[in-house]
Structure 1
């Protein structure tokens, strides 16, 4: 899968400037500060925004988990089935995987932020071969964040994940660093170092190792 020379302008501002990225199987991680173009790139991939130019070759059935979502006055089961009752078995398999079955008869609007996000992740997993997530752990507690990480580690799908969380580098297959609408780096997460991240976020970033695990601290 390839995105080549992508340009997107919103409100007369160029927010993606000649973006070229390759996407791999597994977890494709997009890191960058606010305003870097991460969300716009995700929306371009799923067709929510139009490009001024460039080439998009992204195959597979796409599903999207946005960073923000509406408070639907619907039961959780109806939110899931809004994608089509033909996928009921798949929906329920991911509901069980994420331990959400007790929520099926509750109103979506009464769920916590984490429960809502996990519901939408279950829906996206059932609907897409290519699952696109924008800030999937934003607003989540440690327990629900761990469930998201479990999904990314264990579910055999292709993911594109935009996030601020540097520790996602530990589970990514491919890393893309973006700033001001441009790609600064793409390649193996193992090649991402303190210097790159310090430049990316304009603040010092340290790399530390604890019990054989790598962590990045700002």
Structure 2
């Protein structure tokens, strides 16, 4: 069974390929098929993931899977939510992709800390919505939702990871996400939780494996 990943992220591809290794699935990125990225106009992770999965499935004429993820902070109404990657507005455009990403991450963290200044309730969670469809018209999409709970620090800690990882403290691990090595992070993360749910759903509903 061919399954199109509605992303061109090599890391996501490798993670899902490893997870689905036991299933009869040929996982390919939408970019390798010449499929453009879908719009993400919705206000929830699930709706955006579903839109991306249906878009990829329609263009590829096959099954597809997509994820949408971000950070939700209780004290500010669940923000930054689906706008996590572009929470802060950058006036500078252009430059190397990794440099721009680092600048965006830093700006996002600064803005979040400003909005959380003096706020006692610092509960937050990383959220990952993973959606798979057998076709663009599939009436029964598989939906998995992973949540990784933590608290926001008042200053960044750690040099690993990306995004909000330096601010997100995970009490059971006594580390920020940026202080975890990749193996530990991938074993405990919101995406890992959602992926394990999706694996079970594929076996139960799609009868794979």
- TM-score (norm. length: structure 2): 0.29
Q: TM-score, normalised by structure 1?
A: 0.28
Larger helix proportion of the pair: 2
Which of the pair is proportionally richer in strand? Answer: 1
